[in-house]
Amino acid sequence: MTFLRNCWYLAGWSNEISGDQPLARRILDEAVVMFRDESGVVVALHDRCPHRFAPLSFGRVEGGVLHCGYHGLAFDAAGQCVENPHGPIVKSLCVRSYPVREAYRGIWIWMGDPALADDALIPQLHFFADVPDTAFSCGYIKGDANYLLFVDNILDLTHTDYLHPDTLGGGSYTRNRAKVTDHGRTVSLHWHCWNEVPQPVMRINGFTADRADSWTEIEWTVPSIMMLRNGAVPAGTPREDGKSFLVAHIMTPETSDTTHYFFAATRDFDRDDADLNARIAANRAAIFTKEDKPMIEAQQKRMEGKDFWALDPVLLRSDEGAVRIRRKVDEMILEENAGR
Amino acid sequence: MTFLRNCWYLAGWSNEISGDQPLARRILDEAVVMFRDESGVVVALHDRCPHRFAPLSFGRVEGGVLHCGYHGLAFDAAGQCVENPHGPIVKSLCVRSYPVREAYRGIWIWMGDPALADDALIPQLHFFADVPDTAFSCGYIKGDANYLLFVDNILDLTHTDYLHPDTLGGGSYTRNRAKVTDHGRTVSLHWHCWNEVPQPVMRINGFTADRADSWTEIEWTVPSIMMLRNGAVPAGTPREDGKSFLVAHIMTPETSDTTHYFFAATRDFDRDDADLNARIAANRAAIFTKEDKPMIEAQQKRMEGKDFWALDPVLLRSDEGAVRIRRKVDEMILEENAGR
Amino acid sequence: MTFLRNCWYLAGWSNEISGDQPLARRILDEAVVMFRDESGVVVALHDRCPHRFAPLSFGRVEGGVLHCGYHGLAFDAAGQCVENPHGPIVKSLCVRSYPVREAYRGIWIWMGDPALADDALIPQLHFFADVPDTAFSCGYIKGDANYLLFVDNILDLTHTDYLHPDTLGGGSYTRNRAKVTDHGRTVSLHWHCWNEVPQPVMRINGFTADRADSWTEIEWTVPSIMMLRNGAVPAGTPREDGKSFLVAHIMTPETSDTTHYFFAATRDFDRDDADLNARIAANRAAIFTKEDKPMIEAQQKRMEGKDFWALDPVLLRSDEGAVRIRRKVDEMILEENAGR
């Protein structure tokens, strides 16, 4: 499978990388190792020693450089060998280094041409950084399916009406078509569901009115970063009076068939309530782990190694956003490869 | 691997399919889902939603139609979409439907051309249906080997003398050649072992004479259905005085390397004895699980992915039935594919 | 992967083969079964019955011949069928037999042309046989990596300075270059480390001097047999006054990606001390299992199915022995295949 390379992928959460233990993570089917140099800046290298191909991640960070645990070669942030106990440092003693940025509690990696790595393209996820810990939760799950199946899942929220009928569902996503707007490197999907039966989860969260006006606004950003803002008010009430959530779903391909799924969430109410924060996070993780993940992994299996389009999927109205984005990503990959 | 398609395969036992939970089973390397429509008739569909390829078996039966658990599309017995919550029901919203018949406590599926599905070809297994529960047992095991290795196992019962020396063996199958008769879509193998040492299992079952006249008569039916009638009397006694068993061994290919093994048994004596029934069933299952299954799965592994004939097996006298049937199945497959 | 075939591989320890249970072991990606004939001589056959491909190792040794557990065919040391309960013994009823020798507590197998099997090429490992049990230990580990990665590990002992810093390491292998001498079918590597900091393991073993003169002399023999003699004395003391160890590391390819790793050890001091013997053996096994094996298996994974040379390894001074031996083995394989 070909991936889009000239873009930022979330490689991990900031707090996953510290101390003398490097972090190994496969990204776009390449073995990557991450660690912090002496000034704390995150570094990403190809996780394979050029000498005997031992994973550098089996080694140890010391003095801000990564020492191979097998024969002691050490590599700096540029991937250059800076210590060879067995002789001179020849030019070939180096590994690929990937551009990395740390921003918004996350580690962003550029798997394409380093010359094109553009900080302006890092997704603007200020909420990750700007909210108190009592109103922030984040997590990571490894999913055994292609990342675009995970993206589809978020971009077609009608699935909540069938897969999560007792929590996020209720029928309003299905009854109300999303408005899809293409902005180039971002695409927005807006569901505005006026005068609807409240979702079960709203009842659980204390919403008592019989009818609700609710909104869910997703902004997808290249390649597979989604911000989702949703909230509700009693039907007919101004939106400003409602409580709302801001949730990020970020998919980074591990291989063609497996995905690093990062998620984070905040809210605009009761931001000091750590208990509430924990409860919401646990509920969200349970729904995803027990309902979405098994279904998406089953989709992957049922495709039996075939290409998505080759299987000739029937397109529904609710696929509008997901299909637009699949096509956009396909085109960008074609362009990227044509430019090579 | 190519399978014979225009024939009935046993897809499951009747009591495996009920309620709102569909049953998923891979047959001839195709994902099949089975459920009952409103009148209780069993339906078999391709277990893959045409929309996003979710397994329909992850969904739910309601009102006799199968609802996909991901986005709510519903499919009827013909595989036609009858409910699309997201827009009109377009023609392409359908899945393959397989002819299915319920007969003799079993579900029979036709994986080939539906126009050729012929009820007259359903194996006549009246005993499944006609005996009291206290004289009937049936079971299912998934075996990790090609179905024809399981068929070979039944058709060459000399193996019992070596693989089951303390129960079914004793040497009489080896000392007495089976008479093989080809009837076209059925082949019979008859072992008549006069004046032999009784099999150990007969001693366990209370047979006290020193010498036995015993018979084992197998009828194989296309593609891999075997009825086995066997019994014994003290040597020289009329066969009519003996007790006999009727056992069915039915193999349905799951994939080229794995098999659904269905078995069922009855007897013509002590038919009200539920304890005896349970004891016999448990013994049979133990022998198969601990002795046959490991050997057959080891054969499969030792073939290391190569074709049976390509490995140039040495043929013995005792292979006569099994080889005739392998060749017959090969020819029928060739014919079937030539006719396409 | 192509292996060198005309040479002796260690197939097992003598005490692994006894009684009526044959031993199955995959060697050079071929299924081999070993047992003893009536006079106790070890026999190695292809572990696949020519009749129906059941593993002969599922059978039983009786009267010095191996009886297939499925249909009772029996095979002798030459692989010839000597018992067919189902008819005449036809010529095709035979399996490949491999030349085998039992020597030095080990079973040696020749996977190539039997006509070339030359006893003189059996590695001279007298110490295996000549030492008391209280000064001998041996073991077996299955490793999930190509055998040459295990060979590399032994031939570049600088790895001990980084992978085993608290036991075998200490820096002296890295600071002192090994002298490599090519003798054709054997290659020797000698590290002589004068006036060095003692290795941590020497401290554990009671060495008290501040500085040590130590030596490690490896003799590699085709294809992957390594004898390692090492010892130490307080710096400046005659070598004859020191205690020394003799250790064998013997790698036999199971498949291209997995290895049978046999090891054995003795020492020239306290040879009656069974406790010491057990302690040393346990330490050695722990180091190998917890430190070497995971690293080597990680190397194998990181190579992602690619050929060692195709990955363009950077060669260091410390690779001299390992690289020479890899090239020698490559050349011998080319020669062997050219000669076919």
User: Are C161 and A72 an interchain contact pair (Cβ–Cβ within 8 Å)?
Assistant: yes
Of B23, B11, B98, B14, nearest in space to B66 by CA: B23
Model pLDDT, residue A206: 82
Model pLDDT, residue A130: 86
Q: Give how far the C-alpha of residue B227 lies from the chain's centroid of Cα atoms, to the nearest Å.
A: 10
Q: Where is average pLDDT lowest: A119-128, A323-332, C199-208?
A: C199-208
At residue A269, does pLDDT exceed 70?
yes
Q: Give how far the C-alpha of residue B213 lies from the chain's centroid of Cα atoms, to the nearest Å.
A: 29
Chains sharing 3 or more CB pairs under 8 A with chain B: A, C
Angstroms from C16 CA to nearest CA on chain B: 22
C299: three-class secondary structure by DSSP: helix
Model pLDDT, residue C245: 95
Model pLDDT, residue A340: 63
**For testing contact with chain B, the best of A162, A309, A312 (most B CBs within 10 A):** A162
Q: Does A52 touch chain C (CB under 8 A)?
A: yes
End-to-end CA distance of chain B: 17
Model pLDDT, residue C264: 96
Model pLDDT, residue B202: 87
At residue A263, does pLDDT exceed 70?
yes
A:B CB pairs within 8 Å: 62
Is-contact B137 B265, C-beta < 8 A?
Answer: yes
Across the range B201-208, mean pLDDT stands at 84
Alpha carbon separation from A24 to A11, A56, A59, A117 (Å, rounded) = 10, 9, 11, 22
- pLDDT tens across C172-227, in order? 999 999 999 999 999 999 999 999 999 998 887 788 999 999 999 999 999 999 99
Of C132, C113, C146, nearest in space to C260 by CA: C146
Q: Which residues pair with C238 in a beta bridge?
A: none
At residue A36, does pLDDT exceed 80?
yes
Across the range A226-253, mean pLDDT stands at 95
Q: Does C285 touch chain A (CB under 8 A)?
A: no
Of A158, A145, A137, nearest in space to A285 by CA: A137
C8: three-class secondary structure by DSSP: strand
User: Are C86 and B174 an interchain contact pair (Cβ–Cβ within 8 Å)?
Assistant: yes
Of A135, A126, A137, A131, nearest in space to A271 by CA: A135
User: Are A299 and B54 an interchain contact pair (Cβ–Cβ within 8 Å)?
Assistant: yes
| A299 interaction partners in chain B (CB closer than 8 Å) | 52-55, 70
Angstroms from C311 CA to nearest CA on chain A: 9
Q: Which residues pair with B267 in a beta bridge?
A: B245
CA distance A146 to A309: 13
pLDDT band at A127; cut points 50, 70, 90: confident
- pLDDT tens across B217-229, in order? 999 999 999 999 9
Q: Does A207 touch chain C (CB under 8 A)?
A: no
The complex's ipTM works out to 0.95
pLDDT band at B205; cut points 50, 70, 90: confident
Model pLDDT, residue C219: 97
CA-nearest residue of chain C to A81? Answer: C314
pLDDT band at B102; cut points 50, 70, 90: very high
Neighbours of B269 (CB within 10 A): 12
Which of C47, C71, C93 is the closest to B162 by Cβ? C71
Model pLDDT, residue B340: 63
Average pLDDT of chain B is 96
Superfamily of domain C132-338: Naphthalene 1,2-dioxygenase Alpha Subunit; Chain A, domain 1 (3.90.380.10)
| A162 interaction partners in chain B (CB closer than 8 Å) | 67-72
CA-nearest residue of chain A to B52? Answer: A313
Residues in chain C: 340
Of B243, B244, B241, B236, nearest in space to B195 by CA: B236
| A159 interaction partners in chain B (CB closer than 8 Å) | 70-71
Q: Does A72 touch chain C (CB under 8 A)?
A: yes
**Phi-psi label, residue A9: left if phi above 0, alpha if psi -120 to 50, beta otherwise:** beta
Q: Give how far the C-alpha of residue C121 lies from the chain's centroid of Cα atoms, to the nearest Å.
A: 15
Alpha carbon separation from C105 to C130, C138, C251, C262 (Å, rounded) = 10, 10, 16, 12
User: Are C55 and B313 an interchain contact pair (Cβ–Cβ within 8 Å)?
Assistant: no
Q: B131-338: what fold?
A: Naphthalene 1,2-dioxygenase Alpha Subunit; Chain A, domain 1 (3.90.380)
pTM across the whole model: 0.95
Over pLDDT 90: what percentage of chain B? 94
CA distance C270 to C267: 8
Chains sharing 3 or more CB pairs under 8 A with chain C: A, B
Q: Which residues pair with A109 in a beta bridge?
A: A9, A100
Phi, psi of A293 (to 5 degrees): -55, -50
> Could you check whether A8-121 and A126-338 share the same CATH topology?
no
Residue C15 token pair? 């005490």
Q: Does A208 touch chain C (CB under 8 A)?
A: no
Which of B48, B71, B85 is the closest to A302 by Cβ? B48
- pLDDT tens across A141-194, in order? 999 999 999 999 999 999 999 999 999 999 999 999 999 999 999 999 999 999
CA distance A101 to A28: 17
A67: three-class secondary structure by DSSP: strand
Of A31, A35, A53, A57, nearest in space to A44 by CA: A35
CA distance A35 to A23: 6
User: Are C51 and B156 an interchain contact pair (Cβ–Cβ within 8 Å)?
Assistant: no
- pLDDT tens across C79-134, in order? 999 999 999 999 999 999 999 999 999 999 999 999 999 999 999 998 888 899 99
- Residue extents of the structural domains in chain B: 8-121, 131-338
Pairing mode of beta strands C74-75, A42-46 = unpaired
The contacts of residue B124 (CB under 8 Å, 6+ apart) are none
User: Are B316 and C72 an interchain contact pair (Cβ–Cβ within 8 Å)?
Assistant: no
Neighbours of C6 (CB within 10 A): 21
Most distant pair of Cα atoms in chain A: their distance: 77
CA distance B246 to B264: 8
CATH architecture of A126-338: Alpha-Beta Complex (3.90)
pLDDT band at B307; cut points 50, 70, 90: very high
Model pLDDT, residue C317: 94
Is-contact A185 A325, C-beta < 8 A?
Answer: no
Model pLDDT, residue C68: 98
C331: three-class secondary structure by DSSP: helix
User: Are C159 and A67 an interchain contact pair (Cβ–Cβ within 8 Å)?
Assistant: no
Residue C321 token pair? 């022995």
Q: A8-121: what fold?
A: Rieske Iron-sulfur Protein (2.102.10)
| A302 interaction partners in chain B (CB closer than 8 Å) | 31, 47-48, 53-55
